[in-house]
Copies of this chain bind each other. A is one copy, B any other.
Amino acid sequence: MSILCVGSVALDSVETPFGKAERVLGGSAVFFSAAATVFSPVRVVGVVGDDYPLQELDFLGARGADLAGIEKRPGESFFWAGRYHYDLNSRDTLETRLGVFADFEPRIPVAFRDSRWVFLGNIDPTLQHRVLDQVDAPDVVVCDTMNYWIEGNRKELLSLLERVDILMVNDAEARQLADEPNLLRASRWIRERGPSIVVVKKGEHGAILFADGWVFFAPGYPLEVVFDPTGAGDAFAGGFVGYLARSGSMAEADLRRGMVYGSAMGSYAVEAFSVDRFKTLDTRDVAERVREFRAMTAFEAHVEELHV
């Protein structure tokens, strides 16, 4: 099942304690697609400037990403430069230049309009609305957002939520959106406004899925070397949505597995700069990592008579 993915297609310059990468592939749509194509074909919609090395996206095309929705416009591509600190949990943005992304007006190619799975990357909620307006009859809409829109375009974001099945945000965003520090209550507040599922991403601490009457927790995969955290959240979303679209299901068992695939894909994102790790990823790697996730959380509960 093809996933329509709308988001940023960017160039990133990243410094970490381990090295530097200059003007490498980045952006939510790129990280999402690199992870999601492990499971499902993806139809990508975005915009780049005339400086973008589109041929570097060929590896996505070879894996089933349809890049026909990436519009090339005169001007500069979205550019982000950042530096991660010693512990890799915090970063400074050194530069952001929106370039042609500033006037991004998503146009969904006719051939993409029958998409049943839609991933709305983190863009203005007004544009996310317009994407949905152009899709015939989506079965499942998954949406990301950020503090900038929660503050700056809250009204549109709240009306968008009514059209969303799964909201994926980080813990600070969930708390800010609901104005509620308790995650369980924040997620309920959000679910009362549209999405039946809220996935809260917590970086190295893993991710939690909140549904009606149940909760699922996927740990972060403990890595020896966290090389570059950029894109981990979008790769998580790619693994999660990619797996669900592949199974064509929102059943609880699939949502649980999807969380684990998401967490696995997030871990690959941080093992190298940009989307480099995905280029060499094979099925056995993924299967092995999922087995490790299982080993990390499995226990036999035999609750015998306790002392009290």
Interface residues of A (CB under 8 A from B): 37-41, 63-64, 86-89, 175, 181-185, 202, 204-206, 208, 214-217, 219, 222-226, 242, 246, 253, 256-257, 259-260, 281-283, 286-287, 290-291, 293-303, 305-308
Please report the C-alpha to C-alpha distance between residue A259 and residue B306 in the assembled complex, in whole angstroms. Answer: 16
Known: A224-B182, A282-B308, A308-B281. A294 touches B290 (CB 8 A): no
- List 15 A–B pairs whose Cβ atoms lie within 8 Å, in order of A's numbering: A37-B308, A38-B306, A38-B308, A87-B181, A182-B223, A182-B225, A183-B204, A202-B205, A256-B299, A259-B299, A283-B305, A283-B308, A287-B303, A291-B301, A297-B297
Kindly list the 7 A-B residue pairs having the minimum CB-CB distance in the complex, ordered from nearest.
Answer: A87-B181, A287-B303, A205-B205, A256-B299, A217-B219, A297-B297, A283-B306
Whether B299 and A86, one on each chain, are in contact in the complex, defined by CB atoms closer than 8 angstroms, is no
15 more contacts with CB within 8 A, not counting A246-B307, A256-B299, A281-B308, are: A37-B307, A37-B308, A38-B307, A86-B181, A87-B175, A87-B181, A182-B223, A206-B219, A214-B295, A257-B300, A287-B303, A287-B306, A294-B299, A294-B301, A297-B298
**Does more than half of chain A's interface fall in helix, strand or loop, or is it mixed?**
loop
Q: What is the total number of copies of this protein in its complex?
A: 2
Please report the C-alpha to C-alpha distance between residue A308 and residue B65 in the assembled complex, in whole angstroms. Answer: 12
Whether B290 and A303, one on each chain, are in contact in the complex, defined by CB atoms closer than 8 angstroms, is yes
Q: How far is the CB of A151 from chain B (nearest CB, A)?
A: 18
Q: How far is the CB of A171 from chain B (nearest CB, A)?
A: 9
Known: A184-B224, A202-B205, A208-B222. A297 touches B87 (CB 8 A): no
Q: How far is the CB of A97 from chain B (nearest CB, A)?
A: 30
Whether B216 and A222, one on each chain, are in contact in the complex, defined by CB atoms closer than 8 angstroms, is no
Please report the C-alpha to C-alpha distance between residue A223 and residue B184 in the assembled complex, in whole angstroms. Answer: 7
Please report the C-alpha to C-alpha distance between residue A283 and residue B183 in the assembled complex, in whole angstroms. Answer: 27
